[in-house]
Structure 1
Amino acid sequence: MTPRIDAHQHFWRMARGDYAWLTPALGAIYRDFDPDDLAPHLAAHGISASILVQAAPTEAETAFLLDIADKTAFVAGVVGWTEFASPDAPAAIARLATHPLLVGLRPMVQDITDDDWLAHADLAPAFDAMIAHQLVFDALLKPRHLRRLLPVLERHPQLRVVVDHAAKPAIGAGDDTAWRDDIAAVAQFPDIACKLSGLVTEAPSGWTIDDVRPYTDHLLSCFGAERLIWGSDWPVVTLAADYGRWLATAERLMASLDATARARVFGGNAATLYLSHRGRRITG
C-alpha cells in the first residue's frame, strides 16, 4: 500500500527569532507550532508521514528541525537551509548531509533581492554538492523566478528539483500567461517535480475550487501525475483554509486520475523523490 505523505509542512518556535517574514500581521499563525499541533490532522486523514520544511534562512533553524525530526516518528525527512552563495557551501552541504533525515535544502529565493540570483554561475559548487549527496533542491520561487531556474536545470541535469507551491501563481489576479509558459518550460526537464501546495493562499479571499482548478489542470498537463506532489503547507495554509478543506479540495482536483496515479500524487512521488535514497523509511 502506498503511504500518504504530507510533503510540505512547517514547525516554528517564535522565541528563536530568525523568522523575519513571520510578523503579527499574519495573525493566527503568529505563534508556536510543533508536532503535537499537526499530529491530529495527520491521524484524521490517514497520513503516515510528513516532510518538514525550513522557514528561516539559518543553519540554526535546520539543526532545530533535525532535532524535532529525530524525536518525531512521523517526520520522514527535513528540507533545511544553507548559504548557497558562500565559498564554504560545498563543505556545509557535506556536513549537513551526514544527518540521515536531511533530505533537501531550500534557499528562500522568493525573498532574495536579486531576482537573477538563481542564474549566478558561482552557485554551481553548491548545486554539484547537492547532487553528490543526493539531496533535493526545493525551489521556493515566485513566477518571475521560473525562467531564472532554467540555467540551473541546463547546467545541472542530475539535480533533483521540486518547485514549491507551483511558484505561487497569483490566482485570479489577471493575465497568467507568463506563469503558464514558464512553468511549462521548467516541466520540460524530466527530473523536475512540482508541489501541489500553497495555492489557496495565493487565491482571493472566498476562493472556490473553480478558482484553483485552471491552475492544477495546467500543472497536470505539464508534469503529469508522475511529478506532482501534494503538500499541505501547514500551518501557512490556515490563512486560507483548514487542513481538511485543502486536502479535500486537492483530492477533488485530482479526481480524474485513476487510483494508482492519485496514490502517487498523495504520497508515492514524495517517497520516491525525498526518501528513496535518504530519510526515514515508511510504510502505508
Structure 2
Amino acid sequence: MVTISNPALGALVDTVRYAPDCALWTFGAGALMKTLRLVACFEGGIAMFIDTHLHLIARDRISYPWLQNVPALDRDWTFEAYETVARRIGITGALHMECDCAAQDIAAENRFVAQMMMRDDSLLIGGISAARPEDEGFAPFLDRCDAAQIKGFRRVLHVMPDDLSRDDAFRANIRLIGGRGLPFDICVAARQLDIAAELVDACDNTTFVLDHCGVPDIAGGGYADWSSRIADLARRPHVNAKISGVSAYAGPDWTLDHLRPYVEHIIDSFGWDRVVWGSDSPVCTLHASLEQWMAATQALIAGASVTERGKLAAGNARRIWDLARD
C-alpha cells in the first residue's frame, strides 16, 4: 500500500505491484516506453541478463575436493575479474551458485558470498547455497540460512549414487525447501534425467531448476536419448530449465550449429516462461570464454521476440528466485 497525503487535501491510498510482476503496458507513451524496457531487461534492444549460475573459487578459505581433478580450473576465480567482464557484456545481476565445496565449508562459502554482496554497487544479488538434504540436521541448517541472501539450494547429484535422491529423508527435506518457497537446482547427468523426474514427482510443492540443459553429450552426439528424457521431464510444470554454459559439453571446436539443436529443444520443451540463463563461469571457460558464451546466446535467441528474450534474460529469474523486490 502506498499513501500520498496532504493536510489540506487528504490522503490518496492505493495498492501497487512491483513492475516485474505486472503485465506489459498496452497503451500510451510508446506503451510506457515498451514497459520500461521490459523492466530493465533491455537496453537499446539488447537483452540485459541476470546470470543465475556464477561460481567463485576462493581456495584460501574454502576447500573444493573436486578441483584437483580439473587442472584447467584449479585456481582462484575472483568476483573482481568476473564483474569486470560481466559489466561489459550486458550482465546486470548475478546469483552465486555453490561450488560443491567440502561439507564443512558450506557456511564459510555462504559467508563469502554475503561479503561479495555487500560491496558497493555489487552485481551479486543472492546465492544458491550448497545443501545436504540427506543429513539429519537439515532442518536446523535451513533455519540458519539468511533469507535475504540465500535464494535457493542445490545438491550436486551427478557424482553421487543414483539412489541418494530416492531416499525418503532426502525427498522430505526437498519438500521442506519447497515449503519455504525456495527453489532447488537439479544437477544431474543426462543418464539420470529419469531419476530427476522421480524426485520432481515426489516433491510437487517444490520449484525445480534443471542445470545446464540436463548436461547433454553434445560432443558425442547424444541428442536422441537426451531429447526424449527432456521432453518427458518438461511435462512437469514446476520444473524450469537453465541454459547455462553448454559449450563446455560440445568440445573445443564447437560452433553455433552444434549448440542450436539442444538449446532450441530446451526452449521448445519448457517454453519461454520456464527457461533462465546462466554463464556457468568459470566452467564455461573449458571450451570458450564468458564473452563467447554470451555472444553465442545472443545469436541463438536472435530470432525470438523482445518479450521472449526478456523472459530468458532476466524476467523468469526474478520470478523463480523472488528477485523482484531486491
Structure 1 and Structure 2 fold alike (TM over 0.5):
yes
SS of 2:291's partner is helix
1:48 aligns with 2:92: yes
Deviation at 1:61, TM superposition (A): 2.2
Does the alignment pair 1:273 with 2:311? no
1:1-284, aligned counterparts within 5 Å?
A: 1-3=39-41, 4-23=49-68, 25-27=70-72, 29-55=73-99, 56-58=101-103, 59=106, 60-71=108-119, 73-96=122-145, 98-112=146-160, 114-276=161-323, 281=326
1:86 partner letter: D
How far is the alpha carbon of 1:228 from its aligned partner?
1.1
Which structure carries more relative contact order (alpha carbon 8 Å, separation 6+)? 1
Question: Which structure is higher in strand share?
Answer: 2
Partner letter of residue 93 of structure 2? A
Q: Residue 134 of structure 2 contacts residue 164 of structure 2 at CA under 8 Å; is this kept in 1?
A: no
Any stretches of 5+ residues in structure 2 without a counterpart? Answer: 1-38, 42-48
Alpha-carbon contact 1:165-1:199 (below 8 Å) kept: yes
Secondary structure of 1:134's counterpart equals coil
Q: Assess, with a 3 A threshold, how the Cα gap between structure 1 residues 119 and 202 changes in structure 2: closer, same or farther.
A: same
**How many corresponding residue pairs?**
276
Residues 178-227 of structure 1: CA distance to partner in whole angstroms, max 9, x if unpaired? 21111111111112111111210001221111011110111111011111
TM-superposed deviation, 1:2: 3.5
Q: Secondary structure at the match of 2:139?
A: helix
Q: Is the CA contact (8 Å cut-off) linking 2:179 and 2:206 kept in structure 1?
A: no
Q: Give the distance between the partners of 2:159 and 2:114, measured in 1 at CA.
A: 23
| Greater Rg by CA | 2
Amino acid paired to 2:59: M
**Structure 1 unmatched runs, 5+:** none
Looking at structure 1, the residues matched to 198 and 67 of structure 2 have their Cα atoms a distance apart, in angstroms, of 31
* Aligned-partner residue type, residue 98 of structure 2: Q
| Aligned partners of 1:54 and 1:65 also within 8 Å | no
Structure 1 CA distance, aligned partners of 2:239 and 2:281? Answer: 23
Assess if the C-alpha contact under 8 Å between 1:164 and 1:194 holds in 2. yes
Name 2:5's counterpart in structure 1.
none
Give the Cα–Cα distance (whole angstroms) in 1 for the partners of residues 203 and 149 of structure 2.
24
> Do 2:240 and 2:275's aligned partners in 1 also have CA atoms closer than 8 Å?
yes
Cα distance in 2 for partners of 1:130, 1:270 equals 18
Letter in 1 for 2:137: D
* SS state at 2:184 partner: strand
Deviation at 1:173, TM superposition (A): 0.4
Letter in 2 for 1:26: P
Question: Identity rate of aligned residues, in percent?
Answer: 25
On the 8 A contact 1:76/1:275 being kept in 2, the answer is no
Q: Which amino acid aligns with 2:40?
A: T
